[in-house]
Amino acid sequence: MVRCFIQILRFALLFWGLVASGTPEKPLAAQDANGVLLTLAREGQPPTHLSADDFGKLPRQQVKATDHEQNIVTFQGVLLRDVLQPLALPFGKELRGKALTIYLLVEAQDGYRVVFTLPELDSLFTDKIVLLADRRDGNLLSDKEGPLRIVVPDEKRQARWIRQVKSITARDAGTTFKGTKTQ
């Protein structure tokens, strides 16, 4: 009887210790077998592959937004502009003239695609926030949403809140439309 009581007590203490310390944070899942979370590309350059560790080292932001079900939720992630640093895109005072024809093609695992222009991400042009989120209300995004999704809190329609983001490609409209260059 005493032995049984001691085993129950040990189990209770172990259980209480897990509850009190919280469960360990689950790492962000990679999207493919090679550990690639996100592929970044720019025309004329080799692609860059970000792992979950790479993404985790970027500066974090959070925003409150109303989701599709009209619930107010908090998304955490990285500003899209910060994710794009490996592509050496022009931002700030460099974003002028021909650089204004560069756009981003964001693609989901299911093939859904949306477009953002660089001025939509640049703090000298706008106060708009475009977040590449990996968390919702402190938890990792569900498999249906994540591991990454775009969140744009001030847009009236959420058509560009692309979920399951797998790649972002920077293209130049001046060279991609009908092979013509812009002036």
Q: What is the pLDDT of residues 63-112, one digit of tens each?
A: 999 988 889 999 999 999 999 999 999 999 999 999 999 999 999 999 99
Domains, in order of start, for the chain: 27-176 (3.90.420.10)
User: What pLDDT score does 35 carry?
Assistant: 87
User: What pLDDT score does 13 carry?
Assistant: 39
DSSP one-letter code for 99: G
C-alpha 49/C-alpha 134 separation (Å) is 17
Regions of the chain short of the pLDDT cut 50? 2-25, 180-183
User: What pLDDT score does 34 carry?
Assistant: 75
Provide the greatest CA pair distance for the chain: 88
Q: Which amino acid is at 15?
A: F
Strand blocks (E) in the chain: 38-42, 48-50, 61-66, 72-79, 102-108, 113-117, 131-136, 139-140, 149-151, 165-172
User: What pLDDT score does 176 carry?
Assistant: 57
C-alpha 42/C-alpha 112 separation (Å) is 19
Torsions phi, psi of 117, nearest 5? -95, 155
User: What pLDDT score does 26 carry?
Assistant: 52
